[in-house]
Every structure is written in structure tokens, then in C-alpha cells.
Amino acid sequence: MPTPGAAAAIEVQDLGIRYNLRLTRRTTLKNSLPGLVRSDDGTPKHFWALRHIAFRVEHGESLAVIGPNGAGKSTLLLALAGILEPSEGEILTHGRVSTLLTLGAGFEVELSGRDNIDLVAAFLGIDHREMVSLAPSIIEFADIGPFIDAPVKTYSTGMKARLGFAIATAITPDILLLDEVLGTGDETFRARSQARIRELIGKAKAIVLVTHDLTYVTEFCSRAILLERGQIIREGGPAEVTELYRQRVTERKLLAEAESQRFAEAPAR
């Protein structure tokens, strides 16, 4: 439970993230997102992936971020992780942050999994002796067998995610950021992952989770945010927010079907 008077784990104040379309290949979104600014020749110069985002995450809370593809969910996590710099507003974090986003960037594919444990420790500023003591439990939890001594370039996506998850959660961060990681691996690993995160929450850690698994949101998270087109549509209890999301998905599907039907029935010219 949050401690009265204590600083929040995360404070997001009027956050905006703007992409310059001339410096990025994300041009497939140019006709679907609001806030486009066009140059003299009519081509878009930039778009706002996030705009006017504000929320708090207290220590001990688990916040789910849900929404359709292109809503800005992963962009939000990148900003919370410090990988993307806000174009406007600010993000304040209080405590040590761990995320598979930064861990994935820290993996060196030519090195073994065992060597990458040390590398990630250095990347996160963790004392070498601390990581040496944690390494056996990390290797056991990742459960990738002899591949722990093989180059990471030989790993499947799932194996890399398992190792990253084992590292990210072994260091008991104050703030843990996860992006669909709980969908990785078999049912046994999923169950172990959920148990590990529940353990972290029991230690009053804060978690921000991006997921499409709405059942998991309602069973596990204490609060949820619905993002659409870079803006918060609703923030509240998991059941309330997921129900709204389901309604909006159904409405969009019906509109798309109706539009498709009108197009099929339109007379040929």
C-alpha cells in the first residue's frame, strides 16, 4: 500500500512525445494519428505519439496500460524508461527502474547468456558482487539449460525474453516496466513470471505493464489506463477500464463491417 506523504514512484506531468517523420520510418502512421503538421509541399513533418499524458503510480501499485495498436503504449514505456526524451512535460521517477526495454538494448549477441548477466549489471549500475550472488538464481529462473553458455545470437526471441525477465526481476527494482513479457514462454514459465511479479508487489514495488491480456489486467493489476491515439481515454479500476475498451473495440468492428458492406453494395462506376 502507498505510504502517506511519500513521493510517488512515478509522476507523469503533461507528457508529450513528438516524432519527426523526416527522421523516422514510422510513416505508416501518418494518416491515422492526430496532430500532424504539414510542410509546404503537403507532406507531414511530425506527429504527436503522446500528448497531454498525466498520471501517478504509487509504490505498491500495478498499473496496466491497454489500448489498440498504435495507441502509444510502447512509446509511453520507452519514455518512462528514459529511452525517449519528452518533447514536452516531464517524468519524475523515485527509485531504481528496471525494464526489459533497456535490458534488451544491453544484450551483446556475440557473448553468452552468462556473460550478458555481468554486462547488464554494469549497464544498470549494479555492483558486480551483488550480481555474482544473484547469477545462480537468475540462471535457474530463466531455465534455458546449456544455452546459458551459448552466444545470445543463437537464442530464440522467447529465450532472450526469459533471460531478460529473470535479470530484470532478480534485482528487486523499485519500478518495473514490462511490455507483453508475460505472454512469453509456456504455461509453466507464465505462472512463474506472474508469481515473481506478485512477489515484487508484495515488497511494495511499482509496476507498469503494457498488455493485450485483459483477463490478466483484471485479475492482477490495481489500476488501468486506456490509451487511444496518444491520449488517455479513461483511467480507473481494471474492470471499468477493460469493459470500456471491449465496448470501443466492438464499436470499431461494427463500423468497419458496415463500411465494408456499403462499399460492397455500391454500384460500379
Q: Does domain 64-83+96-255 have CATH number 3.40.50.300?
A: yes
Please give the Cα distance from 24 to 21 (Å, whole number): 5
Quote the percentage of the chain above a pLDDT of 90: 47
Mean pLDDT of 35-51: 70
Mean pLDDT of 8-18: 96
Please give the Cα distance from 253 to 250 (Å, whole number): 5
Q: What is the mean pLDDT of the chain?
A: 84
Place of cell 549500475: 125
Residue 41 — pLDDT band, cuts 50, 70, 90? low
Give the residue from 213, 252, 205 showing the smallest Cα distance to 233. 252
Q: Where are the alpha helices (DSSP H) in 178-220?
A: 187-202, 214-220
Output the pLDDT for position 26. Answer: 42
Output the pLDDT for position 28. Answer: 44
Q: By CB neighbour count within 10 A (0-12 exposed, 13-18 middle, 19+ buried), where does 183 fall?
A: middle
Query: What are the domain boundaries of the chain?
Result: 64-83+96-255
Output the pLDDT for position 198. Answer: 79
- Residues 158-172: tens digit of each pLDDT: 888 888 888 888 877
Residue 64 — pLDDT band, cuts 50, 70, 90? very high
